[in-house]
Structure 1
Amino acid sequence: MVDVILADASLKPCASVSDVTLDWASGADENDFELTIAGHAPTPACGWWWWIDGTEIGGRIDDVRTTVTSGASETTWLGRTWTGLLASKIIRPDSGKDYFTVSGRLPDVVKTIVRRIGLDSVFAVKSDDQSTVTDFVFKDPRYVDAYTGLRNLLSSCGRRLDINVADDRILLGITPVESLENTVDSDVVDFKAETKHRTVNHIIGLGEQDLKNRYVSEWYADRRGNVTRKQTLTGADEICEIYDYSAAEQKTLDDNTQKRLQELQTGGAVDVTLSESIGERLRVDDIVTASDHNTGLSVTAKVTKRIIKISDGIMTTSCEVGQSVVKETISGR
């Protein structure tokens, strides 16, 4: 059985319950939960908290749903996970500034951001990571939810968030991204991969103004997906697309057109299913590489979501991965 700690609005533990049903998700989307508590236990209220000690699993109760069937009532508590709390806050530039820029040791920077968004009474930053960042700029977008912003910041240093609850404190840690390479193959990972050579490799961005005065920005990708101003693929190999950004001045148009073409250079599509043994090991933003020995095709996927479910006292873990680059090493080509 799994023990769930219930805490009041001040984060003070009130009870430990084990007869629960849970559907909890954290990552690129959702970041919420549904919790049903059976048996004799204190009745939570909106604004209460809960967690499972020694894990990242927990959150804040925001709402309640009651279902009555044949006279029997069931109450489900709904709310945000820890990452959901971060996602509900916005990192924004200071008044009169174009961008919000940070520098320093990553733990100090994360602590500053947590305080800036008003969640320092909930989260404590605990990390001995010595990585530093210099003039990291929150841009594209300038206003970004704190969870996405922190993920982007840490990713720039090869790091990810590591959330854990210990001693009744919600701790934000920082840890290197784990990359499972050369240890995972098609015997333990199911995946479907498809190469994509017919992706856009020439993009024309159109910005402000009209007719001959309209701002234009052109970018090209080579066979490896590198984006520059130089065209290397022509004739039948050229695949062109218009990027319409009619409100953009030249600098903004250049930046966003380049970014758009880079986003299109995926190399292919992949659908990866991780076994539970691997899913328990990985966290959001970790990376897994799997290979098919028959074709030589390998795929690299980033974990975008973790899903935890508890039913009948049994906890199961699964992960979802996002769009990934297909590494084509098929023999005979």
Structure 2
Amino acid sequence: MELILANSNREDITDISSFANADFDINKEMKFKVQVARSYYTQDMTFGSWIYIPDTEFGGIIENVVTDTTLDYVELAGRTPRGKLAKRIIQPAAGQDYRTVSGDAHEIMRTFINGNYSGYLSVGENIRVNINSFTFQRYCTTYDGLISMLKSLNRKMVCTFVKKTNQPVYVDVSSEPIVDYSDRIELSNDNRINFKLDDNRMGVNHLIALGKGELKDRTVIHKYLDRNKKISASQVYTGYEECTEIYDFSSAEVAELNTKAEEKIMELANTSNFEMDVEKLNLDVKLGDIVGGRDYLTGISDRREISNIIYTISNRTISKTYKLGD
């Protein structure tokens, strides 16, 4: 494994893996940090320089330098490629309510990426996957918008630091089909893969929200959840299954109370937590792919999307942690 330091012209300088500790959080914090002992620090480790692992998406441009003379290291930090995409906004054209696109998925991605990141990010060849029409949410980030667009095609975004001979390094942004490993491989404790399933059905499914007003004139809104944990117009859980709470927001008008009540009932709803040691699967699992597990003793099963990958180098030891989404 190489951890490369490159200059602001995207030219490699040296491999720093033998004396640096690093942490890359690619899709939650969307940041990286690298700690270098003060005795190894050079003037090349500065703003605009690159730190990356070739053929992966672990890396970024140095945008933050922290030095503390009471510590024996200097910390270098910046955003991951996805973090850069998350700091641009897709705006509707003047006079339009929404931004709507059509055509090849990669060609659409190229219009938002190529030429907008000084060569840092670049979308390659088209994939011949056509979108008849896709409408972005108003003023969403470029990242959220493109992820939603790709998901509508059952595809995931892939970012890769590419270094070719005599060419500056760059991040290739592309897409691949989402792989559902829960359909291909039924993972259970029989496979010697440990996981934890916590299926908690003690949550609230009926919320009575109280807003402005007094006594009979007080604003009252009822919110219900269906069995798919979606807001329902009518009551689904009745009898012993009904679980009700009061939400008191006495200063709220109807519109605000309606919004806040929906947020509140989702906070109080049933929860299902699934944890799995994905690293032991020995599969080429990527961000956006799906894994699942089943406990034959209880009959409980679950499947989740890989929502984040954290790559850590500490004292030359590498670890990779996979986070599962909702």
Q: What is the TM-score normalised by the length of structure 2?
A: 0.78
Q: Name structure 1 gaps, 5 residues minimum.
A: 324-333
Larger strand proportion of the pair: 1
- Shift of the 247–90 alpha-carbon distance from structure 1 to 2, 3 Å rule, reads farther
* Residue 26 of structure 2: aligned partner: 26
Count of aligned pairs between the two proteins: 312
Cα distance, 1:102–1:233 mapped onto 2, change above 3 Å = same
1:285 aligns to 2:288 (yes or no): yes
Unpaired runs of 5+ residues, structure 2, are none
Query: Alpha-carbon deviations, 1:286-311, whole Å to 9, x = none?
Result: 21101112111111122221111112
Conserved in 2, the CA contact under 8 Å of 1:204 and 1:217? yes
Asked if 1 retains the 8 angstrom alpha-carbon contact of 2:7 and 2:44, the reply is no
1:310 is matched with 313
Task: From 190, 195, 205, give the equivalent of 1:191.
Answer: 195
SS of residue paired to 1:136: strand
The structure-2 alpha-carbon separation of the partners of 1:296 and 1:111, relative to structure 1 and needing over 3 Å to count, comes to same
SS at match of 1:68: coil
Q: Distance between the aligned counterparts of 1:216 and 1:113, measured in 2?
A: 45
Q: CA deviation at 1:102?
A: 1.9
1:114 is aligned with what amino acid?
I
Separation in structure 1 between the aligned mates of residue 308 and residue 229 of structure 2, nearest angstrom: 26
Correspondence for 1:78 = 77
C-alpha distance in structure 1 between counterparts of 2:124 and 2:236, whole Å:
48
Structure 1: distance between partners of 2:220 and 2:106: 42
User: What residue number does 1:123 align with?
Assistant: 121
For residues 218 and 124 of structure 2, the distance between their equivalents in structure 1, rounded to whole angstroms, comes to 51
Matched, 1:156 2:160: no
Name the % identity. 27
Secondary structure, in 3 states, of the residue corresponding to 1:97?
Answer: coil
1:64 corresponds to? 65
RMSD of Structure 2 on Structure 1 (CA): 3.7
Contact map agreement 2:193 2:280 (CA 8 A) in 1: no
Q: Equivalents in 2 of 1:195, 1:157: separation in Å?
A: 30
1:259 Cα deviation (Å)? Answer: 8.0
Distance 1:315 1:280, change over 3 A: farther
Preserved CA contact (<8 Å) 2:66 2:76: yes
Distance 1:268 1:201 in 2: 12
Residue number in structure 2 paired with 1:137: 135
Q: Secondary structure at the match of 2:293?
A: strand
